[in-house]
Amino acid sequence: QVQLVESGGGMAQAGGSLRLSCAASGSIFRFNVMGWYRQAPGKQRELVAHIVSGGSTNYADSVKGRFTISRNNAKNTVYLQMNSLKPEDTAVYYCNIKNYELGAMTGDYWGQGTQVTVSS
């Protein structure tokens, strides 16, 4: 099993910045993908960004150029630096990790979520 603990959520004004952190513990495989998802009221959960254990990243078009995902493998921690925040970034943000072995996903774990609120 894997446990994920998020921190860093809160409120910011438009144009401001926040930094989210997610610390993972438990059975973390050699090949894994850590990511951030978000869900606004009345909307489906969507991928914000993810990062592979080797360092490759991917971002949603809506956050490219504003958000940066990174990870510290020694600390089993993933970060999301959010700059130039917009009111439409308001959502609950969830940390996620997917374990892989021989090319197949063997585990999928979620944090409890942290609220991000951006005022205009």
* Upper half-sphere CA count for residue 88 (Cβ side, 13 Å): 3
**pLDDT, tens digit (0-9, with 9 covering 90-100), for 79-114:** 999 999 999 999 999 999 999 999 999 999 999 999
**pLDDT, tens digit (0-9, with 9 covering 90-100), for 38-76:** 999 999 999 999 999 999 999 999 999 999 999 998 899
What pLDDT was estimated at residue 40?
A: 97
10, 39, 37, 8: which is closest to 23 by C-alpha?
8
Q: First and final CA of the chain: distance in angstroms?
A: 40
What pLDDT was estimated at residue 94?
A: 98
Distance of CA 21 to the CA centre of its chain: 8
Q: Which two tokens stand for residue 11?
A: 């409120």
Question: What stretches of 57-109 show up as alpha helix (H) in DSSP?
Answer: none
Q: Left (φ > 0), alpha (ψ -120 to 50) or beta: where does 92 sit?
A: beta
User: 10 Å Cβ neighbour count for 88?
Assistant: 11
What pLDDT was estimated at residue 64?
A: 98
26, 8, 7, 27: which is closest to 17 by C-alpha?
8
Distance CA 60, CA 49 (A): 6
